[in-house]
A = this chain, B = another copy of it.
């Protein structure tokens, strides 16, 4: 990847900015007069030609202006975007909303989705935090009928799980409560692994309960478990590049199909990130559905304990600086809220 001269960088920046604003191709002439540049349109044309050659720009057709390519955006995001913090009053507006909102993780997640969508004018994605190796706080067993049991599970982070299962034989509520309190006494504060390791129980009923308990606790690791909050889908529809709904179909389908979405999230979040925020531009050759979209993601929560993902999906033509800052800021807020809730 050849280096760009300073002037070329400037031009790329201008084109990206202008294009995100207008959604139109930018020509040499309009640039020079729009920004009072100290070189002529001919010079710019030469530069643009070489940058087009290099793959950073693209002409929708001969004799149209230039538009950034996927590569161009990638270069811009890696090297040129200035990492501004969100302006103070925006930060205040956002944080205010969180501290105003009714307490509780679910409310915060919904709010995060809504704030992200509104701020970025794109679709937002918020996954509920899932616990990793998190310990049992409390187990409750309730008989529903005959051998059927409702298991309610509180994990240390306050996360609640429920599962219905059947025992081999009908069992009284007293018996269940007894088992539950023994399990609580012995395994409170233990992780799934520890429970597996320490199990040395003969009572078949208790063994059965423990296996369901472990099973449910281990399901944490699976991203699919957690709820996903989406918001601002209509923002994407409203963008001009998705004016004919065919174009909008792919990103919408992606947002709708959990498995696809999780695939994108999990594989993106693995990659290296700048300042903790990952930027996936134009599907990166892997996701056809994201051809004209970009996804900006970050993790939140407490690393290795309880983490989730938030981010936005929008057109490739996106105000990266602002959006990245917003995602980062909201991620930070959520992390704080989660830690506060978790702190004991």
Contact = CB atoms under 8 A, between A and B. Distances in A.
Interface of A: 103-104, 137-138, 140, 142, 144-145, 150, 152, 154, 158, 160, 162-165, 231-234, 237-238, 242-246, 248-249, 252-253, 256, 341, 343-344
Contact of A142 (B154, B164, B244, B341): B154
A140 B140 contact: yes
Contact of A158 (B104, B140, B150, B231): B150
A162 B106 CA distance: 10
B244 A249 contact: no
Contact of A164 (B104, B150, B244, B248): B104
A104 B163 contact: yes
A237 B244 contact: no
Contacts of A232: 256
Contacts of A253: 234
Contacts of A104: 162-164
A244 B237 CA distance: 10
**How many copies of the polypeptide does the oligomer hold?**
2
Count chain B CB atoms within 10 A of each CB in A104, A164, A234, A246 and give the residue with the most: A234
A154 B154 CA distance: 13
B234 A249 contact: yes
Contacts of A245: 237-238, 242-245, 248
B231 A252 contact: no
Contacts of A144: 158, 341, 344
A138 B142 contact: yes
10 contacts: A103-B165, A144-B158, A145-B344, A150-B154, A150-B158, A160-B162, A237-B245, A238-B249, A243-B245, A245-B248
A165 B164 CA distance: 27
Given A138-B142, A234-B252, 19 more contacts: A103-B165, A104-B163, A145-B343, A145-B344, A152-B152, A152-B160, A158-B162, A160-B162, A164-B341, A232-B256, A233-B233, A234-B256, A237-B237, A237-B249, A237-B252, A243-B244, A243-B246, A245-B245, A248-B248
